[in-house]
Chain A
Amino acid sequence: MAGSTLIPSGDFRTSYAEDTTVFPTRTGRNAMIAGIVLICFAPYVLGEYTLSLLIQIGIFGIAALGLNIVVGFTGQISIGHAAFFGFGAFTSAYLSNRFGIPVFFCIPLAGVVTAAVGLVFGLPAARLKGLYLAIATLAAQYILLDFFARAEWFTGGSVPASAEPFSIFGYSLRGDKKYFYVVLAYVVVCYLLVTNLIRSRDGRALIAVRDHYLSAEIMGINLTKYRTLSFGLAAFFAGVGGALYAHYNQVVSNEGFGIDRSIIFLAMIIIGGLGSIMGTLMGTAFMVLLPESMEWLSVALRDSPIDQFLGLKNNIAFLREMAIGIIIIIFLVFEPDGLAHRWRQIKAYWKLYPFSH
């Protein structure tokens, strides 16, 4: 995951295993493990509010990871990711309420069911590419939203569906402190899965489809298979994320799975860096913290002239929407490779400090 810039000069890779290793340096691996261990203590150190932010970053990070597979690694465009996220949330709630399946199994099951739906909507992807696909997923977004509103047996219609709290073997985990570990476990597993997927034969095929689909096909890669597969995978992670979201909030309402949420997911991976796994998490953190920091800012600016001019109290929602849009534009124009690229540059700078040239 560290960039090639961190490898000492003269250290040439002589085998494929070395070339595709997850951590090219031992320090990188140790730092990652230390980071995960450190964050395990977060519930004891951090307050409720910070913890809830971390949980949100984890949940949305998993869903955004799915989107990064389809957009960043396979080069297809999906504007309907939030609908799949919502579908996973409703499925998990439905499975646990209707069939009494323990929540522990519901979450991966919701992922599988959502993946099946994703494959159905991925079928156009077999024939379409680029902007046609973008438009097809836009239609999927509206059709699924309409389905949520219509299918009362599944979603509860206008009444929000309730979701059971998370439980393992009859021991239920209530509250943010315990749920944090559930989310953390899922984040670690999902990110490891995707990192390894990209190193595998299938992952390389996905990247080949992105880089040049005609060349990929000439090399014997089945375009239809991999395009559809990437959609299924994206939907799977969206479903898992949605299920975690459902059991975190314990209610699933129709709100919050609209096109604006899809745009936020896209913003996460663009800001983080398309085709960068750790970047996804950075982008998610950025997008979760952005509205919060605007909130803090508006509190800090209360009754100042700026506040009176902008009418912050009433208009913060609109300003937040605008900020999201403006930040996407700024990143696309000035930093198309996202935070992951910036992070690599910072690391390279300090690696070579003080002789950076």
Chain B
Amino acid sequence: MLRIAATLSHKGRGEEPRNSRLSNSMNTQLLIQLLVNGLVVGTLYGVVAMSFVLIYKATQVVNFAQGELLLVGAWVCWALLTKYQVPFWLGMPITLVFMFVLGIAIQVVILRPLIGEPIISVIMVTIALSTVFSALMKWMFGVNLQPFPSVFGTQNVNILGLQVQTVYLMSLAVSVAMMIGMAWFFRFSKYGLAMRATAFNQQVAQSLGISVKNVFAMAWAISATVSAVAGVVVAVVNGVSAGLAFYGIKVFPAAILGGLDSVGGAVLGGIIIGLLENFAHFLDSEYLHWGNLYEIAPFYALIVILMIKPYGLFGTKDIERV
């Protein structure tokens, strides 16, 4: 019953009949299920948005290739588990190490030469990166959805009258764990402190002996790793396909809503966007019957937020006066 909506690739129309078949007495039931679904998806958006904001905060780069980092992580893990028959407890760490190295490589090889270039160049380079990665993944692994080998036995758990599959609980738990881990990292670790200092003011940080270059590379590495975890989680639930990269696009409404440079805001924004998406889906299937509304609702929300409150809920206001 529950499913993670965002991976429905880009065509959300196929599943309307199933929902409209539900009788009206099921309305509340459906709404609650969709909202729970929204919460699960939303926390995942939150995790991805968090890693997006991490890069933005530390390096001032808007990463349009965030979704592709998810995709690469999921495919690498999938390949290790199915093609090379590596057990999950070994495959997952290998994936993470790979993504860590990949993140550093992207920063050092591609983004470092662009420091100081206009913002359009930096944005374009990440857009180009996303094209390269998505095409590369299609080339290497094909365009079909591949089921992920079952890592956990799937069962249904009854929570407050709702049938919830264990994978969704796992997804929620992993997301929350990652958020807590990130919070801990920023608050208590040495690198986290260095990153916060760099985000605050690069020149001052450098004069205090922080290697800004290292911090930049580390931000990409951590972001790529966290994204890969999110990618694997989605893959475990829904299988791997190119549609996974759409998470990277959904990150924008979430991050903008929360404020581009606020990690906590990104998490909250992700949850709100996840809920909004599923609520739009509920409205659509029950009352409006426009079709495809939940795919597009976040973008309308995005435009509205940008018009009303461009710096989001918790973003730093950038005040300029002439």
Contact = CB atoms under 8 A, between A and B. Distances in A.
B135 A124 contact: no
Contacts, number: 123
B238 to A, nearest CB: 21
Q: How large is the interface on A (under 10, 10 to 19, 20 to 34, 35 or more residues)?
A: 35 or more
B60 to A, nearest CB: 9
Interface in B107-147: 110, 113-114, 117-121, 123-125, 127-132, 134-136, 138-139
Contacts of B204: none
A134 B130 CA distance: 16
B72 to A, nearest CB: 14
Contacts of A217: 322
B123 A131 contact: yes
B135 A136 contact: no
A214 B307 CA distance: 21
A138 B252 contact: yes
Given A139-B299, A318-B139, A325-B129, A128 B124 contact: no
Interface in A271-321: 274, 315, 318-319, 321
Contact of A260 (B129, B131, B139): B131
A298 to B, nearest CB: 14
30 contacts: A71-B120, A77-B119, A79-B127, A123-B307, A127-B307, A128-B306, A131-B62, A131-B119, A135-B306, A136-B306, A142-B249, A143-B296, A146-B296, A150-B290, A214-B320, A217-B322, A263-B128, A266-B127, A267-B128, A270-B121, A321-B132, A321-B135, A325-B130, A325-B135, A328-B127, A328-B131, A332-B125, A333-B110, A333-B125, A336-B117
Contacts of B320: 214
B256 A135 contact: yes
B30 to A, nearest CB: 24
A325 B134 CA distance: 10
A95 B191 CA distance: 60
Contacts of A332: 114, 117, 121, 124-125, 128
Interface residues of B, number: 42
A322 B114 CA distance: 20
A105 to B, nearest CB: 32
A134 B303 contact: no
B138 A135 contact: no
Interface of B: 62, 110, 113-114, 117-121, 123-125, 127-132, 134-136, 138-139, 249, 252-253, 256, 260, 290-292, 295-296, 299-300, 302-303, 306-307, 310, 320, 322
B303 A136 contact: yes
Contacts of B124: 266, 270, 328, 332
A328 B128 contact: yes
A319 B310 contact: no
A46 to B, nearest CB: 31
A123 B113 CA distance: 34
A218 B62 CA distance: 29
Contact of A329 (B62, B110, B136, B291): B110
B120 A274 contact: yes
Given A131-B119, A260-B131, A329-B129, A143 B310 contact: no
Interface string A129-159: 0111011101110110010011000000000
